[in-house]
Amino acid sequence: MTVALITGANSGIGRSAAVDLAAKGWTVYGSMRSLEKGEKLAAMCAEAGVKVHPVVCDVTDTASVDRAVAEVIAAAGHIDVLINNAGIGGNGVCEEASLDDYMEVMDVNLYGVIRGVQAVLPHMRERGSGCIINVSSIAGVIAALAQSPYVASKWALEGLTEGLAQEVVSHGIRVVMIEPGIVKTAIMAKNTDAPNATGAYDRAYQRMFNFYATGLATPGQPLEVAEVIYEAATAENPKLRYTCGWGGEELVAGKAAMSDEDWVALGAIEDDAEYAVKFKELFGLELVS
């Protein structure tokens, strides 16, 4: 029986993945900061006729993460798959985002992953097997405008994951990352602030919101990401990166094909209509105005 621990299982991608993996016969433990946050997860489980075991875990608290991992191992005997899914957004251009903004986002999106990895790796190494799945973002591949704290956290996560994959492969441990594009989750509804304290970055904030408005017209769904997570954990020949959700494949391909100079030049375009034309040329995505 495959045993999985998923962080941030009370909403969005984590909740959908927890239910989906349980429906596939896995023993699933879903972590959340408090059990009161698990009502929707419990309702989805009841509807699907499956069981997900709730676990209290705050990924910003090392002791809490250690306790959660120990609790799952004590109950299930082992952990086969750790899915580091918990995450938060973070809007703001570099000039206007405070260091506190950066630290808050890093504490969840990067350090939270590190805490989980460090808690579970000794157990996986001892068993000589395991899988660690880090849920990143398309913002870990392309520096999404006016989201500097979020982008910084996801780019750091990409580097961490690349290095980790090499570090543990000889111990029989698989490491992969998921890079969703725009997916319909609660993080989108929560992530609507635009500091714009100086008024100097109106264009950047507006283009960021236009990008998300375009994606949210036909977004990816959490279940789509859940299926990719299952594929990543079970593929005979796994990849390091898996992309899904609205715009994921197009943005990855477009960024790989363009030069650094092309990327900087895109930001220099002042006219929004001209920007949209160039964006479509580069990425094959038509932005709403």
* Residue type (1 letter), 252: V
Nearest partner of 151 among 92, 78, 64, 210, judged by Cα: 92
242 and 232 Cβ atoms separated by less than 8 Å: yes
Catalytic residue, from 150, 212, 242, 275: name it.
Answer: 150
Task: Report the 10 Å Cβ neighbour count for 74.
Answer: 8
Q: Report in angstroms the alpha-carbon separations of 110 from 25, 43, 105, 131, 138.
A: 30, 30, 8, 18, 15
**Quick one: CA torsion of 153, 159, 165, 167, rounded to 10 degrees?**
-110
> Any catalytic annotation for residue 102?
no
Label the pairing between strands 130-135 and 81-84.
parallel
Phi, psi of 269 (to 5 degrees): -70, 120
- Residue 248 in tokens: 């994921």
**Residue that is written with structure tokens 């989906």 in the block:** 20
Active site residues: 150
